[in-house]
Amino acid sequence: MNAFWIILTGSLVATCCSLLGCYLILRRMAMIGDAISHAVLPGIVIAFLLTGSRDSVPMIIGAGLLGVLTTFLIEFFHKYARVQSDAAIGVTFTWLFAIGIILISVFAGQVDLDQDCVLYGEIAYVPLDLWITEGGLSLGPRTVWTIGFVTILIIAFILFGYKELFLTAFDSGYAAAIGVSTSLWYYLLMTAVSLTTVASFESVGAILVVALLVAPPATAYLLTDNFKTMLVLSVALGIIASFAGYYLAVWMDGSIAGAIATITGVEFLLAFLFSPSRGILINRKLVQPVQH
Amino acid sequence: MILQVDNPVVEVHDLTVSYDRKPVLWGIDLTIPAGSLVGVIGPNGAGKSTLIKAMMDLLPTGSGYVRIFDKPINEVRKRISYVPQRESVDWDFPASVFDVVLMGRYGNLGLFSRPRKADKDAAMEALEKVGMQSYAQRQISQLSGGQQQRVFLARALAQNADLYFMDEPFAGVDIATETAIIELLRTMRDQGKTVIVVHHDLQSAADYFDWVVLLNMRLVGSGPTEKVLTQELLEQTYGGKLTVLSKVGDLLQKQEFPSREKQR
A167 Cα to chain B: minimum distance (Å): 7
B109 to chain A nearest CA, in Å?
10
Q: What pLDDT is attached to residue A1?
A: 76
Q: What is the pLDDT of residues A171-181, one digit of tens each?
A: 999 999 998 88
Question: In one letter, which amino acid is B244?
Answer: V
Residue of B81, B84, B174 lying closest to A173 (CB–CB):
B84
pLDDT of B263 strictly over 50: no
Complex ipTM = 0.86
Nearest Cα of chain A lies from the Cα of B85 at a distance, in angstroms, of 10
Interface check B56 vs A, CB under 8 A: yes
Q: Please tell me which residue, B238 or B30, carries the higher pLDDT value.
A: B30
Closest CB to B139 among A82, A164, A225: A225
CB atoms within 10 A of CB B245: 16
Q: What is the pLDDT of residue A12?
A: 94
Q: Residue B89 and residue A289: Cβ atoms within 8 Å?
A: no
Give the pLDDT of residue B241: 52
Determine whether the interchain pair A173/B82 forms a contact, defined as Cβ–Cβ distance below 8 Å.
yes
* CATH of region A2-206, choose from 3.40.50.2300, 2.40.37.10, 3.40.50.150, 1.10.3470.10: 1.10.3470.10
CA B177 to each of CA A209, B88, B162, B163, B210: distance values in angstroms, whole numbers, following the listed order: 47, 19, 23, 22, 20
Q: Say which residue, B252 or A203, is predicted with more confidence.
A: A203
Q: Could you list the mean pLDDT of each consecutive 10-residue stretch along chain A, which spans 292 residues?
A: 88 94 92 86 84 75 86 87 87 91 79 67 77 76 87 94 93 91 90 86 77 94 93 96 94 89 94 84 57 50
Separation between Cα atoms, residue B91 and residue B144, nearest integer Å: 10
Q: What is the pLDDT of residue A185?
A: 92
From B96, B107, B146, residue closest to A178, measured CB to CB: B107
- Mind telling me how many Å the CA of A36 is from chain B's nearest CA? 24
pLDDT for the residue A289:
54
Q: Report pLDDT digits (tens) over B147-173.
A: 999 999 999 999 999 999 999 999 888
Cα dihedral A151, A154, A155, A158 in deg (nearest 10): -170
Please give the pLDDT value at position A52: 73
- Write out pLDDT tens, residues B61-81: 888 899 999 999 989 998 999
Q: Do A177 and B99 touch (CB under 8 A)?
A: no
Q: Do B112 and A170 touch (CB under 8 A)?
A: no
Instruction: Report the candidate in A211, A221, A205, A208 with the shortest Cα–Cα distance to residue A272.
Output: A221
Nearest chain B residue to A287 by CA: give it.
B142
Number of other residues whose CB lies within 10 A of the CB of residue A177: 25
SS3 B44: coil
pLDDT confidence of residue B264: 41
Q: Torsion-angle region of residue A205: left (phi > 0), alpha (psi -120 to 50) or beta?
A: left
Going from N- to C-terminal start, the domains of chain A cover: 2-206
Is pLDDT of B123 > 60?
yes
Q: Is the predicted pLDDT of residue B242 greater than 60, yes or no?
A: no
Give yes or no for residue B262 having a pLDDT over 70: no
User: Which pLDDT band, with edges at 50, 70 and 90, does B254 fall under?
Assistant: low
| Arithmetic mean of pLDDT over chain B | 86
The closest of B40, B31, B9 to B170, measured between CA atoms, is B40
pLDDT for B95 equals: 93
Considering only CB atoms, A167 lies closest to which of B78, B94, B103, namely: B103
CA angle B25–B200–B72, rounded 5-degree value: 45
Q: What is the pLDDT of residue A279?
A: 77
List of chain A residues whose C-beta atoms are within 8 Å of the C-beta of residue B174: 292
- Do residue A178 and residue B111 have CB atoms under 8 angstroms apart? no
pLDDT of B259 reads: 47
pLDDT of residue B43: 87
Q: How many CB atoms lie within 10 A of CB A128?
A: 12
Which of B8-26 are b and which e, b meaning 16 or more Cβ less than 10 Å from the residue's Cβ?
bbbbbeebbbbeeeeebbb
What are the residues whose beta carbons fall under 8 Å from the beta carbon of B138, sequence distance 6 or more?
B96, B97
The pLDDT of B42-50, averaged and rounded, is 88
B179–chain A Cβ distance below 8 A for any pair? no
Nearest-neighbour CA in chain A from B224: distance (Å): 27
The answer, for B148 touching chain A at a CB cutoff of 8 Å, is: no
On whether the CB atoms of residues A45 and A107 are closer than 8 A, the answer is yes
- pLDDT, one tens digit per residue, over A113-146 is 666 666 677 787 777 777 777 777 777 788 888 8
Question: Concatenated DSSP letters for A266-277?
Answer: HHHHHHHHH-TT
For the sheet containing B194-199, what is the strand order?
Answer: B80-83, B163-167, B194-199, B37-41, B211-216, B218-224
Q: pTM of the full predicted structure?
A: 0.86
Average pLDDT over residues B71-93: 91
Q: Smallest Cβ distance to A227: which of B74, B84, B95?
A: B95
CB environment A238-250: b (16+ within 10 A), e (fewer): bbbbbbbbbebbe
Q: For position A284, what pLDDT does the model report? A: 55
Evaluate if residue B206 carries a pLDDT over 90.
Answer: no
